[in-house]
Amino acid sequence: MSVAHVDDEEAAEVGDVEKALPSGDFYTGQWCNGCPHGNGKYLWTDGCMYVGEWFKGKTTGKGKFCWPSGATYEGEFKHGFMDGKGTYTGFSGETYKGTWVMNLKQGEGTISFVNGDYYEGEWRRGFQEGYGRYHWKNGNQYIGQWKKGLINGNGTMIWSNGNRYDGFWEDGFPKGNGTYKWPDGSFFVGIWSKDGKDQNGTYYPSDSPTEKFDWDPQQVFLEDLKDCKICGGEKVSIWPSEKMPNWFAVSKEKDGKQRRRSDGSLSGFSMSSDFNGGSVSFGSEGISRHGDGSVRRLHLEDSVARGSSLQLKKPPTRRQGQTISRGHKNFELMLNLQLGIRHSVGRPGPALSLDLKTSAFDPREKFWTRFPPEGSKHTPPHPSSEFKWKDYCPLVFRTLRKLFDIDAADYMLSICGDDALRELSSPGKSGSFFYLTNDDKYMIKTMKKAEVKVLIRMLPAYYNHVRSFKDTLVTKFFGLHCVKLTGSTQKKVRFVVMGNLFCTDTAIHRRFDLKGSFQGRTTAKPEAEIDSTTTLKDLDLNYIFRLQKLWFKEFCSQVDRDCDFLENERIMDYSLLIGLHFREVSTPHTSGVSSPTGNGDCENGEAPRLSEDSNDQLVINSTRQSPVSLGINMAARAEKTVRKNDCQVVGEPTGVMYDVILFFGIIDILQDYDISKKLEHAYKSMQYDPTSISAVDPKLYSKRFRDFIFKVFIEDT
């Protein structure tokens, strides 16, 4: 066994070692290529300790992590995270035993709270969600559905005195149809609401002489549920993944020089000055600032997240689109749009119910409002020319916004606030223009009349689909409107407000639009012009994405549900839009680099690989509070692929892995298989393989889309 400091050039590279780190931390155990690998024990100066298995500097396998407070986790780890089966025992004695995914309780698990309560059932993203049973110390118990840690859905509450409620719940309280029963056989059936005004029902006495006619259903809310508080549980002070050392940083010598690994590559980089200076360099490769102040574009695998200095002091993110300021050709249209949406959303309406009547979806359910410059009884004065405003099915879209948890005030502030919209530089292939709100939350797309008809036609099915499947990947629609300009043109501009899939503080480094068709599905841009805002296509794809087992199952199920819905509505030509954030990218083994589209090769055929010296600490700190859901902010691994011939649907995996954050969703869902698409199919079929073109029957399109997507996304084993 050797004993050495980590910055000692003579430190053993392989074998059992004892290492004292510059921070004061101490490691003892197996070591390989500059980091722990095998079994080892790590002691932090603050009293934290890990004992167990390591893989390339990260806790991976079985191990035990102890906190100074006395809390412990014993179980499986993966890439530094509590991941797999494990038991967490808090400093107060609270114990959770079950499955974890990236530090979050996920799957089946049981928790015993320090106050004597316990829960057993399903978890999702750290909260009780799905089916579960909660037992209070006083004998009360609930069995049924949960959502985000609250009783939500269909379930039964049984009190220790024998009373019980069977029915629906919302946010921890009875809501909707339900029955309250007494042990003597009497019961109350009705519509339940925390607001007594909406409560109504009928009491049915039993054969017993005992009567309860003076009983008030609100007693359930005011008294019965007072002793049914859900325990919040103990907070973890710091996650083990946040404690992992940055081996990239600690492997540098104290004098700041770079060390060479056994393979000859540099283990670090030095920054000669910040981005405000005349030159910036990272080692022998990477970013270089020229005398004119410009920074040359880097290949993605060489430049993103290469070190802590770059992570902490990065230049402002490039924002898409041109701000629509005064003098812009669409400035007045933007004002009209903002005035109209403020009027639509701010207008008082009836109390919302998720159970909409058929009449709300009637295509004739549309309303015109006149906006004269001087104002009217219902509209404010404005500096624009007179225009008319149309709302399509306003009650449906108002209810959709509620269903998607969109706050009306925030919605208006995003679209109609002081900040102008941004127009994307060029219209889409369909000729539609896109506008982004300043906060990037919403995208506004101009529409053809035919697209409006498709959306209104499919609106009832769309509403039922997104209501049934909250994690649907299909585009979220928030409003459908029309502006009719006055004057000689009488021009009508129809548009829809949608959620922006890439509304995130996390940088999107690569974008792919995947249909599963191959005719013309490549980017026309020269490789030198491809950057993080370029949307690449099927034939440009050079990755497969590995999802955690639970996420993969959920992903496959939801893609099937969404495709069934679109197929039933005779929709085709939709695509899966994917955004990638690379969490860590290393210096290549050689001076060669891979091209962003996968068309280039390294000089000696050896592809770049992920560094063993990760910057996970920085990434986790910046994103750990961001919400995670299917398609949003999902951690995964991207494996590089190579197509060896043009017939390959998906390239062959190379074993080169990247830790990524994924954003994805199904977009462009308003193209039905109309006569124009049938003619396009007939025409292109004479020139190309009919199965390779985009315009095909919705049933064939759905099957081809799924087959392709399920080759691109696979389970991470």
Q: How confident is the model at residue 677 (pLDDT cuts 50, 70, 90)?
A: low
pTM of the model: 0.57
- Residues 71, 146, single domain; the answer is no
List Cβ neighbours of 637 (8 Å cut-off, separation of 6 or more): 545, 546, 657, 658, 659, 660, 716
In terms of pLDDT, which residue wins out, 589 or 665? 665
Residue 393 lies in a domain: yes
Q: What is the 3-state secondary structure (H, E, C) of 436-503?
A: ECCCCCEEEEEECHHHHHHHHHHHHHHHHHHHHCCCCCECCEEEEEEEEECCCCCCEEEEEEEECCCC
Structure tokens at 11: 């430190």
In terms of pLDDT, which residue wins out, 222 or 503? 503
Would you state the pLDDT for residue 408? 83
Burial of 321 (0-12, 13-18, 19+ CB in 10 A): middle
State yes or no: pLDDT of 427 exceeds 60: no
| Max Cα-Cα span within the chain | 96
Short-list 614, 623, 716, CA closest to 58: 614
**Residue 487: Cβ within 10 Å count:** 9
Helix, strand, or coil here: 228? coil
- Residues 416, 519, single domain; the answer is no
- Residues 493, 525, single domain; the answer is no
Mean pLDDT, residues 92-114: 90
Q: Which 8-state DSSP code applies to residue 351?
A: P
Residue 600 lies in a domain: no
- Residues 492, 532, single domain; the answer is no
Structure tokens at 353: 């119910």
Residue 262 lies in a domain: no
8 Å CB contact between 305 and 584 = yes
Q: What is the DSSP string of 589-610?
A: SSS----TTS----TTSPPP--
Mean pLDDT, residues 172-189: 82
- Residues 74, 137, single domain; the answer is no
Q: Any idea what the CATH number is for the domain that residue 41 is in?
A: 2.20.110.10
In terms of pLDDT, which residue wins out, 592 or 127? 127
Would you state the pLDDT for residue 401? 93
Q: How confident is the model at residue 211 (pLDDT cuts 50, 70, 90)?
A: low
State yes or no: pLDDT of 613 exceeds 90: no
- Residues 52, 168, single domain; the answer is no
Q: What percent of the chain has pLDDT over 90?
A: 28
Would you state the pLDDT for residue 56? 84
Residue-wise pLDDT for 244-266, tens only, equals: 876 755 555 434 444 433 333 33
- Residues 471, 526, single domain; the answer is no
Q: Which of 152-156, 377-381, 488-492 has the lowest mean pLDDT?
A: 488-492
Short-list 125, 72, 74, CA closest to 103: 125
8 Å CB contact between 497 and 415 = yes
Last residue of a domain, one of 451, 470, 500: 500
In terms of pLDDT, which residue wins out, 680 or 236? 236
Range of 153's domain?
A: 123-234
- Residues 183, 84, single domain; the answer is no
Q: Which of 51-55, 220-224, 678-682 has the lowest mean pLDDT?
A: 678-682
Last residue of a domain, one of 206, 234, 262: 234
Mean pLDDT, residues 279-290: 34
Please give the Cα distance from 26 to 5 (Å, whole number).
Answer: 10
Please give the Cα distance from 653 to 657 (Å, whole number).
Answer: 10
State yes or no: pLDDT of 62 exceeds 90: yes
Q: Which of 115-119, 521-525, 656-660 has the lowest mean pLDDT?
A: 521-525
Short-list 95, 93, 73, CA closest to 82: 73
Q: Which 8-state DSSP code applies to residue 143?
A: E
State yes or no: pLDDT of 392 exceeds 90: yes
Q: How confident is the model at residue 154 (pLDDT cuts 50, 70, 90)?
A: confident
Would you state the pLDDT for residue 692? 53
If you search the block for the tokens 């036609």, which residue do you land on?
Answer: 457
Residue-wise pLDDT for 523-564, tens only, equals: 877 777 788 888 898 888 999 999 998 899 999 999 999 999
Which of 193-207, 609-623, 661-675 shows the highest mean pLDDT? Answer: 661-675
Mean pLDDT, residues 380-405: 90
Q: Any idea what the CATH number is for the domain that residue 127 is in?
A: 2.20.110
Q: Which of 136-145, 181-190, 213-222, 618-627 has the lowest mean pLDDT?
A: 618-627
Would you state the pLDDT for residue 419? 77
Residue 107 lies in a domain: no
Mean pLDDT, residues 104-117: 90
Structure tokens at 304: 């993103």
State yes or no: pLDDT of 482 exceeds 90: yes
Would you state the pLDDT for residue 429? 59
- Residues 347, 493, single domain; the answer is yes
Q: Any idea what the CATH number is for the domain that residue 467 is in?
A: 3.30.800.10
In terms of pLDDT, which residue wins out, 624 or 480? 480
Q: What is the DSSP string of 408-421?
A: HHHHHHHHHSSSPP
- Residues 448, 545, single domain; the answer is no
Residue 130 lies in a domain: yes
State yes or no: pLDDT of 85 exceeds 60: yes
**What angle in degrees, to the nearest 10, is found between the helix axes of 408-416 and 331-346?**
170
φ/ψ region of 505 (left if φ > 0, alpha if ψ in -120 to 50, else beta) reads: alpha
Strands 2-5 and 14-20 come out as parallel
Mean pLDDT, residues 97-105: 89
Mean pLDDT, residues 277-295: 34
Strands 187-192 and 366-371 come out as unpaired
Which of 2-11, 249-258, 367-376 shows the highest mean pLDDT? Answer: 367-376
Would you state the pLDDT for residue 19? 83
Q: What's the domain count of the chain?
A: 4
User: Cα separations (Å) of 622 from 37, 374, 582, 616, 710?
Assistant: 27, 48, 14, 10, 31
Would you state the pLDDT for residue 320? 72
State yes or no: pLDDT of 105 exceeds 50: yes
Element (H, E) at 715: strand 713-715
Residue 138 lies in a domain: yes
Would you state the pLDDT for residue 694? 59
Short-list 39, 79, 37, CA closest to 583: 79
Would you state the pLDDT for residue 474? 96
Mean pLDDT, residues 360-379: 88
Would you state the pLDDT for residue 70? 87
Length of the chain: 717
- Residues 496, 512, single domain; the answer is no
Residue 274 lies in a domain: no
Would you state the pLDDT for residue 426? 56
Please give the Cα distance from 419 to 324 (Å, whole number).
Answer: 10
Would you state the pLDDT for residue 684? 57
Would you state the pLDDT for residue 250? 57
- Residues 516, 537, single domain; the answer is yes
Q: Any idea what the CATH number is for the domain that residue 543 is in?
A: 3.30.810.10
Average of per-residue pLDDT values in the chain: 77
Residue 602 lies in a domain: no
Q: Which of 252-256, 284-288, 335-339, 548-552 has the lowest mean pLDDT?
A: 284-288
Residue-wise pLDDT for 495-533, tens only, equals: 999 999 988 888 899 999 998 877 777 887 777 778 888
Q: How confident is the model at residue 391 (pLDDT cuts 50, 70, 90)?
A: very high
Last residue of a domain, one of 234, 264, 295: 234
If you search the block for the tokens 């050079």, which residue do you land on?
Answer: 542
State yes or no: pLDDT of 343 exceeds 90: no
Would you state the pLDDT for residue 397? 94
